[in-house]
Amino acid sequence: MAIGEAIMAANGGAGQPGSGSLGAVGTLFHDSRNVRVKGFLTQPILAPDSLGKTLAGVKSEAAGHGGATRTTIRVFMGRNLAEQARHMQLPYDIEAVIPVGPALPGMDIVYFGKNHQERMPDAHTMSEERKNLAKVLCGTNPVPRTDAIARAERGGYSLSLLTSASQNDVQALLSIYREAFEKYTFELNEAAINYMLGNGNKMFVARGKAGQIASVLVAEECEIKLDDGRNVLIYELSDFATSKTDRGNGLITALQHMAIGCLRNIAPHSVIYAEDRAPWLPVLKSSKEAGMRYHGTLPFHCTLVSDRTFDYQKGHDFETLHVFVAPHMRD
């Protein structure tokens, strides 16, 4: 969902320098802002006994991080094993499964997670989240890339990959994010914006007729080296935001189409996915319209307060995310 941990490190908060846009790679760490233990493991899991030992080790290590109310990890697993794991007695639940595709044939990225009881969404919240998702999966059709981009251009917008940003651009981006989010997974300040603009990340923007930035998304880039020597390039489409005066014009759909096309040209075998806000119907619709496919749900995954299609129970600053994945051409 967000650059999060690396930005927090830059801001002097939680995180590890060099951990990349996905957070801690190859280890676990305590993300204090989001009150969770998080990690992306790099040892491929190819056998049931290896999976059991790995998750037992995660549970033991996570127990040492006091105060965390969620543990969330990602693991590379053989596809058949991912299916078997759904029927195994494990300390964590399978929350989402991302096919890695031609980058690692026969492998998946599997999200395992567990929340403390006090961090579980209430029944009303879960029901409304399921309704939002069902509306999109059953009632929203993919929009051809050319149509989505043409719609934005007819509205007077121009789309581009932002290769350099002026100080005015930085301030405009900061203003859009602060307008869009009351609370976010990381502190919204100039340091965060500057991090988004560097470190291999790719920022896609829509500008209005006057040249001002109206909408933005970031493709967070991370090349993960597995312990067996293989490499996987991953892009997380995240940090979606549109100025309130420019909403309803299909800008995020157009930017997602543009980003996916650009990234496929750069790295055809890369893994491209998004973690979309469960209570905000427009962003779910935009991912479906951009041709992305639903692959799982992360309950109360991160700290986030913003506009919602329905109200969360008062006092809940965590939000559930749905994982959407851009298929490879032959999928």
* Alpha carbon separation from 302 to 61, 92, 194, 277, 322 (Å, rounded): 20, 17, 22, 10, 12
Do 112 and 192 have their domain in common? no
Domain membership of residue 78 (yes or no) is: yes
Q: Please list the pLDDT of the chain residue by residue as tens digits (331 residues).
A: 444 444 444 333 333 333 344 667 999 999 999 999 999 999 999 999 999 999 999 999 999 888 899 999 999 999 889 889 989 999 999 999 999 989 899 999 999 999 999 999 999 999 999 999 999 999 999 999 999 999 999 999 999 999 999 999 999 999 999 999 999 999 999 999 998 998 889 999 999 999 999 999 999 999 999 999 999 999 999 999 999 999 999 999 999 999 999 999 999 999 999 999 999 999 999 999 999 999 999 999 999 999 999 989 877 799 999 999 999 865 5
Give the integer Cα–Cα distance in Å for 325 and 98. 7
pLDDT of the residue at 24 = 78
Do 46 and 195 have their domain in common? no
Domain membership of residue 331 (yes or no) is: no
Q: What are phi and psi of 142, to 5 degrees?
A: -60, 145
Residues of the domain holding 41: 5-119
Do 85 and 229 have their domain in common? no
pLDDT of the residue at 23 = 61
Do 65 and 129 have their domain in common? no
Q: Amino acid identity, residue 93?
A: D
pLDDT of the residue at 200 = 87
Give the integer Cα–Cα distance in Å for 106 and 128. 35
Domain membership of residue 131 (yes or no) is: yes
Task: Name the domain count of the chain.
Answer: 2
Is residue 99 within 8 A of residue 111, CB to CB? The reply is no
- Beta strands 213-225; 231-242: pairing state: antiparallel
pLDDT of the residue at 247 = 97
Domain boundary among 63, 92, 119: 119
Q: What are phi and psi of 23, to 5 degrees?
A: 100, -155
The angle at the Cα of 146, spanning 232 to 275, to the nearest 5 degrees, equals 40
Do 94 and 186 have their domain in common? no
Give the integer Cα–Cα distance in Å for 48 and 38. 22
Q: Amino acid identity, residue 207?
A: R
Alpha helices (H) in 190-266, listed in sequence order = 190-196, 251-266
Give the integer Cα–Cα distance in Å for 311 and 180. 16
Give the integer Cα–Cα distance in Å for 68 and 300. 13
Give the contacts of 184 (CB within 8 A, at least 6 positions apart). 2, 177, 303, 304, 306
Q: What is the CATH number of the domain that holds 96?
A: 3.40.630
